[in-house]
Chain A
Amino acid sequence: MSLSPVTIIWAGVFCLLGIGLYGLLAVRNLIKVIVALQILVKMAMLSLVAASYSVDKLALGQSLAVMVMVADTIVAVIGLALAVQVQQRLGTLDISELSRLRK
């Protein structure tokens, strides 16, 4: 059985999904959480392109991916800015410490 490029891309999508989810579930460092989130967004972008290729609407998928890039940059910037603030005010990046806000 030969692997077509699309199949390989889909395999990549699922790998990224697994890595991203694992990161969100297991990691406690806020910076690493943001990295995991970024991996998930990359997964979404990749799957957009792959899906658009499968239905023969490549231009649509690519333009959507560019839009995701823009939104994603903003998310990353705000997330990292938050991380800096958390570090400065609470002196830690451990997200389980952040749940103190609840009390």
Chain B
Amino acid sequence: MIMSSWLIVLIIGVPWLGAVVLRLVDDRRAQLQHTLAAAFACITGAVSVALLFFSSGEVTLSLPLGEVFGVFTFVPDAFGVSLSAIAAAIGFLAVIFSVDYMQGEAQLGRYYSFILLFIGAMVGLVLSGNLLLLFFFWEITALCSYVLISFYNDDPNAVKGGLQALIVTQLGGVGLLAGALLVQANLGTYQISTFLAEAHTLPVGVLSLTAFGCLFAAAAKSAQAPFHYWLPGAMEAPTPVTALIHAATMVNAGVYLLARFYPAFEGVPGWKTAVVAVGSITALIAGIMAITAVDLKRVLAYSTVSQLGYMVYAIGVGGVFASQFHLFSHAIFKALLFLAAGTVIHSVGTRDMRQMGGLGKSMPFTRAVFIIGSLALTGIPIFNGFWSKELVLESGAAVGPNWAYIIMLIGAGLTAIYTIRMVWMVFYGTPASEEHYHDAAPFMRVSLSVLASGVMVGWLLVGPFGQMMERTLPYHHLHVLTLPELFSEAFRGAPLTLTIVFTGFALYLLLRKFTALWDQFDWLVRFADLDFGFSWLSDRFAGAVQGVAESVRVTQTGQLNWNIFGLVLGLIVILAVLIVGAA
């Protein structure tokens, strides 16, 4: 085997081995658990960085599994290696952060082993070159997300949030599976590269079904409207988990899916418009909900939903490179924001922003990194969010429908409003209590500083990132940029967006001064608190499913004779169908 195959084996094998080992360590030896988890995550991170230098568009590792499953292949192309580097590196930082954050918690074995399992599965998801294998990894990440959201399993909210996330993402998984099976039925293979090469030979109906199935799956996984409500519910998870899974990696899987199959789907009538609509509407409503939320992690969750909307929108207007670049930036700055928020929550002991305020004095380090993350989120130069968001908006302005572009600009303003509101409520203003809170602990500082420097200089990698994409993705025909091109491109639209952002800042400060004006938006606040009716819809749906299940329960009599009768009846029906079909 060549070097890169070994790296692929290691990058999935090491965290999964770690997951097993952590499970075997006694929960009373917490120090050993922390050390082992950090060691395994560190090795994975190192391997993922090494893999960056071995990117190629060829199948590097294949496991032939016979007729039904086809050949399971791994392809370390640009999407694969860059996303696995994000997953493994941020995974490592999240584990380091957990050493302080989870100090003294019970059942660390379960916690760390599922984090490591997740890292392996996420890396496998982005590296796999086989649709069925991709689906398997997709579902493993959903499982890990569920287990970790419900980590505090004596808290009913955590259990509810976890179940909701699991059900919604599984529902989406059906779309992906249907797409994979359709491709197999029509092309006779699960290989993604074959699919991308021969997609145009498929009948239009089949291709549309696959395309919309994948959009459905992506919307559920990436918390896009109308499925966005599971992500705020997922905020019950321990904060490092949120930063890793629900900000930096797993929620990007949907965007990844759309980007990966973009060459096959771009010709499907109506698909791009649907993608643009999903992305822009999500960005708008999530932005509004972020303005009204008072739970610090929920604000960040809505903000994540909204930024994912930007990425989806970018794919809809053909800016696959812009979308991936924004994904890359967002993963870093949102992980930073979540971990910094975790530091605050860890010392204050609540997530309610109304009980914070004035924390900047006692937590200067946390304030500094949080503000760096916030500036990137709003898109202030020179932070990484600025470059990528400008690219997204530029590709939208050049191609897309104008209504969507205007919605995205409004979204940029909303981002500015909720970000300054969040920073203000947490770090400035009048303190809610006289208590002096401790700043970030040493291990937390390490993670936060690494991420903060990533936010400031990460965008400098745009040149190599683009070259790698151009070299290893033969079907995408990407419009990649070098660093100087990025400069001119970003600053072309910057005056307009920056005006909107600063208007947002000013508007917030104005509204703070004149509370009467704020009260004018009371109806909007109440409507946003109700999640624009989406959770109501989902509750109704869940109720209906339960009702059906209750009524079908009658058939489960427990009588053996009755069951045999059902079996025989089924057999007769199948035989009848076969005979009629043969005739």
Residues of chain A having any CB pair with chain B under 8 Å: 21, 24-28, 33, 95-96, 98-99, 101-102
Could you say which of B556, B557, B558, B565 contacts A25, with CB atoms under 8 Å apart? B565
Q: How far apart sit A43 and B564, CA to CA, in the bound complex (Å)? A: 17
Q: A99 near B564 (CB under 8 angstroms)? A: no
User: Which applies to chain A's interface (DSSP): helix, strand, loop or mixed?
Assistant: helix
Q: B561 contacts A99, CB within 8 Å?
A: no
Asked if A95 and B560 sit within 8 Å, CB to CB, the answer is yes
User: For A96, what are the chain B residues with a Cβ–Cβ distance below 8 Å?
Assistant: 559, 561
Query: What separation, in Å, do the CA atoms of A55 and B252 have in the docked complex?
Result: 54
* Residues of B close to A98: CB separation below 8 A: 558, 560
B568 contacts partner chain A, Cβ-Cβ < 8 Å:
yes
Q: How far is the CA of A96 from the CA of B563 in the complex (A)?
A: 12
Contact A99 B557 (CB under 8 A): yes
State whether B558 touches A99 (Cβ < 8 A).
Answer: yes
From B558, B559, B568, contact of A21 by CB (8 A): B568
How far is A99 from B558 in the complex, measured between Cα atoms in Å? 5
| B→A interface (CB under 8 Å) | 556-561, 564-565, 568
Please measure, in the bound complex, the distance between the C-alpha atom of A27 and the C-alpha atom of B560, giving whole angstroms: 10
Question: What separation, in Å, do the CA atoms of A33 and B558 have in the docked complex?
Answer: 15
Closest 6 CB pairs of A and B: A99-B558, A102-B558, A24-B564, A95-B560, A25-B564, A25-B561
Q: Which of A25, A27, A101, A102 is within 8 Å of B568, CB to CB?
A: A25
Sample of 20 more A-B contacts, CB < 8 Å, known A95-B559, A95-B560: A21-B568, A24-B560, A24-B561, A24-B564, A25-B561, A25-B564, A25-B565, A25-B568, A26-B561, A33-B560, A95-B561, A96-B559, A96-B561, A98-B558, A98-B560, A99-B557, A101-B558, A102-B556, A102-B557, A102-B558
Q: Name the residue on B nearest A103 (C-beta).
A: B558
Nearest chain A CB to B426 CB, angstrom units: 54
Which residue of the partner chain B has the closest CB to A99?
B558
How far is A64 from B121 in the complex, measured between Cα atoms in Å? Answer: 40
> In whole angstroms, how far apart are the Cα atoms of A101 and B560 in the complex?
13
Docked pose: A33 CA to B560 CA in angstroms: 9
* Chain A CB within 10 A, most for which of B556, B558, B565: B558
In the bound complex, how far is the Cα of B565 from the Cα of A96, in angstroms?
15
- CB pair B559–A99 under 8 Å, yes or no, is yes
Residue of A nearest to B563 (CB): A24
Contacts of B564 in A (CB 8 A): 21, 24-25
Give Cα distance in the complex from A27 to B559, angstroms: 11
Residues from chain B with a CB closer than 8 A to the CB of A99 are: 557-559
Residues of A near B559 (CB, < 8 A) are 95-96, 99
Q: How far is the CA of A98 from the CA of B561 in the complex (A)?
A: 12
Tell me the nearest residue of chain B to A102, going by C-beta.
B558
Would you give the shortest CB distance from B411 to chain A, in whole angstroms? 54
Chain A residues near B556 (CB-CB < 8 A): 102
Contacts of B557 in A (CB 8 A): 99, 102
Task: Give every chain B residue within 8 A of A28 (Cβ-Cβ).
Answer: 561
Q: How far is the CB of B239 from chain A (nearest CB, A)?
A: 44
Hey, which chain B residues are within 8 Å of A24, CB to CB?
560-561, 564
User: Separation in Å of the B47 CB from the closest CB of chain A?
Assistant: 45
A28 to B558, CA, bound (A): 13
A77 to chain B, nearest CB (A): 19
